[in-house]
Structure 1
């Protein structure tokens, strides 16, 4: 057995284990994420390891979701090229923090900022291409959200129950070896639902009941089509896309400690949200993304130089009060206090949103 066959067998076994044990897989993913939090605040010089574990947990969820989607026959309602661009963007979102920290360790500050600029340019280019070429509309972050596994599992069980009920009522021979298309049709004038002759079960098992049409797509997630954007909203989304590039350029031009990059970025975020206007005509996913962007304005309190001059002392003071006066919270807050200075200096943690 050569190496390619060995890898193929390993991949097939892994896919089978994910399909057969989704709950166990979910527990492993959660364990990876929790360990990344524990390591971050308790081990010295463990920042790279902590970020590696956190990134691995996200990529593991992404991979397992893809396997479960394939099992549940969840087919994206977009072209293959658009889906691949979304996958690439999602992977970039998941690995960017780890890549930044690793670049800082390997190549210093200069290498770190080169990597940051390269990733932001790639992300902005891909997002702009999706916006202009595929009319992707308001783009979420990450572009491909984690799969709602409980909903998929529930719908798969419902589909299985319907199939079993159908088999028991219609007979296995009638549908497994014979008709596999739609079992009914609707009369145009009366609207009455009738069974097709070709869909009739064996003579001894016929009933007058209308057969239940099994929906083979019942495990699919309801993917809402993007809302066509007006000219103003196109400009608003464009401002949101190019904001990271403008912010990096302003940091390079005015310096890391200047207020100008902070003010420019904040102004662009507020302008983008204002230009979007009333979100009532947007679909639920897009309204949720705009709510997320609005909430992320609070991050400006954690971004330098505002954090360094105003909010740092207040946040640390509040966390210490909680850790000293609420039993049990110190187990979480103490590591957070130890990791907060490092977290605040990582560009992709603070500015990526």
Structure 2
């Protein structure tokens, strides 16, 4: 009984410390993450141990974020929160589970674990989108808390844009010229301002407006479904056609391009359908298309030699670059085969 009391007191003190010192706890988490890079290649089973430390550091970040949100009363009640939590934990742990399965049961065990993980992730994300009405699924599902921004906001006493918008109209129209003027109190923070004049509001017929909005929502739902089904489609085609075939690679690329095309067609309409958060996720997914340059079979046939030549050139010509480039060349095949699947992003 005394031991449990001591542990509970220690844990409560830890929770209070994390809540009061979010930036210091971030430094400790970053140190643990860098420790995983340092261990790689230096001890037996280093890849598994390194990935375990990296996984635990991410889980520590998730746990500390939840502590900060709870003690600072930042939690918002959302449906499907437990499912989001399970998915986030699995996304942080999946590479470690794959490496552990490969070491214990061989290649067949590794691919069995991959199939189970991807099926669970795909079904769970589709449930979030279709049942819990989540608009878009980001990676990780529960995003990392912006602790620095949180500290600056609490110190400055800033008001969020959503709170401003809830207080009333953000603009008014001049009677003579009809020009739209933004109210001073509704001005967003300087870092997210577009500095563009407000556009005249387009008035639609209520029935046609409702039909347009529903059509756009259906298109966005189709785009997100295509994106979420892509990992299973790629995995199934990989099993059917083989790992050296170009068909799984092209199929996954077509799924990504089709999803992005549907989203961007929604954004081109005069009705502002996509939120700022959705636009950020779409921009990130567009950037992730560059990963196809280092995914098999394109990597094995084209980009591998060019990347190695570039790293060797930097190692010879840039002072001290050999310390990083030589290690990167050494572990590039391992990183490429374990971190750059079609379903990783």
Q: Above 0.5 in TM-score?
A: yes
Which of the five TM-score ranges fits, normalised by the shorter chain?
0.7 to 0.9
Alignment equivalent of 2:309, drawn from 286, 300, 317? 317
Corresponding position of 2:255: 268
- Superposed, 1:131-210 pairs within 5 Å as 131-158=129-156
In the TM superposition, what whole-angstrom CA distance separates every residue of 1:252-304 from its partner, at most 9, and x where no partner exists?
A: 11111111111111111111111222436311111111111111111111111
CA–CA distance in 1 between the matches of 2:124 and 2:111? 20
Offset at residue 347 of structure 1 (A) = 5.6
CA–CA distance in 2 between the matches of 1:237 and 1:338? 37
Corresponding position of 1:64: 64
Offset at residue 9 of structure 1 (A) = 3.2
Report the CA distance shift for 1:78/1:65 in structure 2 as closer, same or farther (over 3 A): same
Name which of structure 1's ranges 296-305 and 326-335 shifts more when overlaid on structure 2: 326-335
Report the CA distance shift for 1:235/1:23 in structure 2 as closer, same or farther (over 3 A): closer
Offset at residue 11 of structure 1 (A) = 2.3
Corresponding position of 2:205: none
Considering Cα pairs closer than 8 Å and 6+ residues apart, tell me whether 1 or 2 has the greater RCO.
1
CA–CA distance in 1 between the matches of 2:52 and 2:17? 24
Alignment equivalent of 1:84, drawn from 82, 85, 108? 82
CA–CA distance in 1 between the matches of 2:100 and 2:219? 40
Corresponding position of 1:128: 126
Report the CA distance shift for 1:259/1:43 in structure 2 as closer, same or farther (over 3 A): same
Unaligned runs of 5+ in 1: 161-185, 187-226
- 8 Å CA contact 1:343–1:349 kept in 2: the answer is no
Matched, 1:236 2:236: no
CA–CA distance in 2 between the matches of 1:253 and 1:292? 30
Unaligned runs of 5+ in 2: 159-166, 168-212
Corresponding position of 1:292: 284
- 8 Å CA contact 1:41–1:335 kept in 2: the answer is no
- 8 Å CA contact 2:220–2:262 kept in 1: the answer is yes
Offset at residue 317 of structure 1 (A) = 0.8
Corresponding position of 2:207: none
Offset at residue 40 of structure 1 (A) = 2.2
- 8 Å CA contact 1:51–1:97 kept in 2: the answer is yes
Alignment coverage as a number of residue pairs:
286
- 8 Å CA contact 2:125–2:228 kept in 1: the answer is yes
User: TM-score, length-normalised on structure 1?
Assistant: 0.75
Report the CA distance shift for 1:347/1:27 in structure 2 as closer, same or farther (over 3 A): closer
CA–CA distance in 2 between the matches of 1:147 and 1:61? 9
CA–CA distance in 1 between the matches of 2:74 and 2:99? 35
Offset at residue 351 of structure 1 (A) = 3.5
Corresponding position of 2:237: 250
Matched, 1:24 2:11: no
Alignment equivalent of 1:114, drawn from 112, 117, 142? 112
In the TM superposition, what whole-angstrom CA distance separates every residue of 1:99-147 from its partner, at most 9, and x where no partner exists?
A: 1111111111111011111111111111100111121012111121111
Q: 3-state SS of the aligned residue for 1:141?
A: coil
Corresponding position of 2:323: 331
Offset at residue 23 of structure 1 (A) = 3.1
- 8 Å CA contact 1:65–1:146 kept in 2: the answer is yes
In the TM superposition, what whole-angstrom CA distance separates every residue of 1:187-223 from its partner, at most 9, and x where no partner exists?
A: xxxxxxxxxxxxxxxxxxxxxxxxxxxxxxxxxxxxx
Name which of structure 1's ranges 278-287 and 29-38 shifts more when overlaid on structure 2: 278-287
Offset at residue 4 of structure 1 (A) = 5.1
- 8 Å CA contact 1:40–1:335 kept in 2: the answer is no
Alignment equivalent of 1:97, drawn from 95, 120, 124? 95
- 8 Å CA contact 1:41–1:338 kept in 2: the answer is no
Corresponding position of 2:46: 46
